[in-house]
Structure 1
């Protein structure tokens, strides 16, 4: 077989594997490393929470747009050349992100960094798989899977340490030496397969690419800015909603009728893959959503610094690393992937319910420690079983098309998830605050008691009566905002948890094929 010609041995295989994992980790860590730096960026850029969210989502959009195109680009330019060019783009954009002077400069460079990064993620998986012999491909999959799941969790602690001891641009500059080393190793050691056919410019699905970019970009903007722009009373929001709907409609039509579609939608006729696609989206929502809200809550509500907020994620990452090879071994021994995935989904629900229960202004780090361990266990149980289950009844080339689809949906789940969570938090915060402040009336005995007590305390400390009354009201208003924030975070955890719980019965209904999936086929 063609791919066996790329099998490497000894130190050469080790170097290629390390290079590919390094590139995959670079890409994935960069998805979440900015999470704990958002407060610092917001201050130095003079941006709102909604605007700064674009630093994360622009990167994710770049990822999502490039992933379906990666296979064609590899064939057109040669895998090694394309991989090296992606590393170079990623590294240059890392420097430009750290050097950005305005908010929208940073967003643009993050988008371009995401375009380079998406290729690193997909191509590194192919390179690792093809450099290992067929009988050891299960091990190569476990190695790659560790990077995919642990990467998002490693981002916050690394980002936290950098922000606390240095400054936020360094979270981007740190990529530069690693990128240069990876580029040199790629040019020296990585080989390209000989492709039997190259598509000409006329055979490229340019319209499919344009419709996908138009639909995803417009929908992302609507989700991000809708609340701030008062939804459909804003002309840009209305126009972009229409653009998103038409973009998706024409994208689906194009992919179902074009000879060489950029995304093979016909493969979704397979029932397992349809469910697996939805599960991948939800998994991305939970994976990236939880690495967004936990550090944000710890910093904004509990006053933790960036490093403390990031370090809480480390034990979960270690538990995920420990759990994933066990899942791989269980599947090799014939364990049903749907049972393992259902258990993972249920444990993630337990993690969310735990978060819902313990969140308060007095929550301690110890409480979060055990809760985050539950998240690490759940994520470790999800990735390989969901991938295996999704592809279990596909054959040949369909496996590669299905794997590309689930990977794209996982990225979309993360991208849209953060946008939806940010919007929901803005709406919910305002609602809870209004409800609480509406009780601040002098004819309300409870408010009167709190207000009078606060005024008396301030006057005892030497404050004049008129200033004490004003300060007391401000203090109670601040307290209401704190309570509204806690209630909002409680809701976010609860609703994400319910979403995972709903998946459990659907997973158990999936029938998997009797043959084991050759995961190496999923790389093409």
Structure 2
């Protein structure tokens, strides 16, 4: 709940100030994706090496996210937020002037460390700025940052890369960051519960285990497909590190009186179940935002800018629906809104799975809007319910865990869909090849037609047959690819439908009035 013991500025002004910085950071998780080839070419790196520009940022970001609540207690929430903004702004400038791949990777690592605390701290500040009855509207505001920024990232990145220079992807953060620092210093006031606390000695063991486990996990997720998963000793080693470190971290943190990550919050059903749903918000958002541009560019000939133009209108739809979802939270039970959101998103993904090689731009825009328009009904009520029983002194810790769950959902979602896509392409290609026999009338007819067309161009009959078979095989690869995308979309649909049913068993938001506070030490 909002702390009224100190004079606060209007919640909307505070929200705008802190959201500016968080939007900038979330945007950077996706904006550089479309510029990798240009980055690699300009600094003399291979395509495989350039992916570390993304991986280094995500690894550092994932490590800091769960620690941001503890760091807020250590430094005071406002001070920590300002340090994060200044650090992110400085490292963005350094990324822009990097002259080699190692230099860019180091600066991206530092950028991820600096920016990791912005999302959860923004959420905690906004949550504590609004009274309990207006939490739905508070999380509608944070949702604009959380959902809209990843949607616009590839579009903006593609436009900047195609029309300017990839370095401006990082340089544009500098004026935005300086403006955010000024607004936060002027408008944000820490309530007593968010001021610097005595945290005792630093828990080096817990800190090391969390950092090691989450860092290794992010490397596994980001590099798994590229390294052929568990056929690679590199992936096996990091997977073992992940399992051992995270298992030890859970055991260790549950024994501490003041852990750096407060896992005891999961004992609240009103927190743990919404966290599960928020995990799948990240899963649906990031996996669908990865699949559609890949499909458009690999099978329909769209460039980065045009594929971004397919995605952008869905951002406008999300922007319009967020306030509407925020108002509904106090009128309709969270379980029904979340279930509706899951089903709406599933309907959009199912509609995308019906695509054909003749699907046009307008249809892609329409199905993308349908994919995204349900997300506000997932994120806003799930976030509202997650914080409904969290006392003010636990807001920063809870926000850190919620942000981590969303980002992990996104990372796991991207890894799973890219792996499933490669697997389904092999299966669909194998199925289609079985029809390329003389016993199949359609194949025989197509081969004869193509051969005749090539012969009419003056090509000898012996060469015409081979050329015709090559054209048919290219069509087969194209069809196998489209069928694989359809398969993956349908698998995600099945997952979301199951979750829509599970969501109906979430507790009511009204139960927060009766529930005991989470145990503190």
**What TM bracket, shorter-length normalisation?**
0.7 to 0.9
Distance 1:407 1:473 in 2: 52
CA contact (8 A) 1:214 1:244 kept: yes
1:301 to 299, 302, 307: 299
Aligned with residue 343 of structure 2, among 329, 339, 346: 346
Matches within 5 A, 1:101-500: 106-130=104-128, 139-187=137-185, 190-192=188-190, 195=195, 197-200=197-200, 202=201, 204-333=202-331, 335-357=332-354, 359-392=355-388, 397=393, 401-437=397-433, 439-440=435-436, 446-465=442-461, 467-500=463-496
CA contact (8 A) 1:162 1:170 kept: yes
Q: Deviations over 1:310-354 (max 9, x none)?
A: 122233222222222222222224x21111111111111111111
Structure 2 distance, partners of 1:153, 1:456, is: 47
Query: How large is the RMSD of aligned CA atoms in angstroms?
Result: 3.3
Determine which of 497, 502, 524 is the counterpart of 2:498: 502
Matched-pair contact (CA < 8 Å) for 2:18–2:122? yes
Which one is further off, 97-106 or 453-462? Answer: 97-106
Give the whole-Å Cα distance in 2 for the aligned partners of 1:134 and 1:277: 19
Q: Contact between 1:87 and 1:182, CA under 8 Å: does it hold in 2?
A: yes
Deviations 1:389-408 (A, max 9, x none): 33445556566544432221
Please give the secondary structure, in 2, of the residue aligned with 1:312.
Answer: helix
CA contact (8 A) 2:62 2:404 kept: yes
Flag the 1:297–1:46 CA change in 2: closer, same or farther, 3 A.
farther
Provide the C-alpha distance between the structure 2 equivalents of 1:352 and 1:196, rounded to a whole number of angstroms.
45
Q: TM-score, normalised by structure 1?
A: 0.86
Check 1:226–1:64 CA distance in 2 against 1; reply closer, same or farther (3 A cut). closer
Question: Is the deviation greater in 422-431 or in 463-472?
Answer: 463-472
* Contact 1:70–1:122 under 8 Å retained in 2: yes
Query: How has the CA–CA distance of structure 1 residues 40 and 473 changed in structure 2, closer, same or farther, with 3 Å as cutoff?
Result: farther
Rate the CA distance shift 1:479–1:94 in 2: closer, same or farther, 3 A: farther
Structure 1, 421-430 or 276-285: larger mean CA deviation: 421-430
Cα distance in structure 2, aligned partners of 1:59 and 1:517: 40
CA distance in 2, matches of 1:377, 1:231: 34
Q: Distance in 1 between matches of 2:309 and 2:343?
A: 25
Aligned length: 514
* Aligned-residue offset at 1:364: 0.6
Pair 1:89-2:87 in alignment? yes
Q: Does 1:74 pair with 2:82?
A: no
Q: Which runs of 5+ in 1 are unaligned?
A: none
Shift, 1:138, TM fit? 5.5
Judged with a 3 Å threshold, the aligned counterparts in structure 2 of structure 1 residues 502 and 47 are, in CA distance, closer, same or farther, namely farther
SS across alignment from 1:328: helix
The CA distance in 1 between the partners of 2:385 and 2:130, in whole Å, is 23
Q: Structure 2: 5+ residue runs without aligned partners?
A: none
Report the Cα offset of residue 104 of structure 1.
6.1
Q: Is the 8 A contact 2:2 2:132 kept in 1?
A: no
| Residues 1:393 and 1:14: Cα distance change in structure 2 (over 3 Å) | closer
Any idea what the Cα deviations from partners look like across 1:418-461, whole Å, max 9, x if unmatched?
Answer: 12222222333233334434554567654444334323322322
CA contact 2:139–2:384 (8 Å) conserved in 1:
no
TM-score, with normalisation over the residues of structure 2?
0.87
Q: Is the 8 A contact 1:36 1:309 kept in 2?
A: no
Greater Cα shift, 467-476 or 452-461: 467-476
Q: Is the contact between residue 91 and residue 176 of structure 1 (CA under 8 Å) also seen in structure 2?
A: yes
CA distance in structure 2 between the aligned counterparts of 1:222 and 1:68, rounded to whole angstroms: 18
Displacement after TM superposition at 1:288 (Å): 1.3
Q: Distance in 2 between matches of 1:416 and 1:35?
A: 17
| 3-state SS of paired residue (1:222) | helix
State the distance in 2 between where 1:142 and 1:514 align. Answer: 19
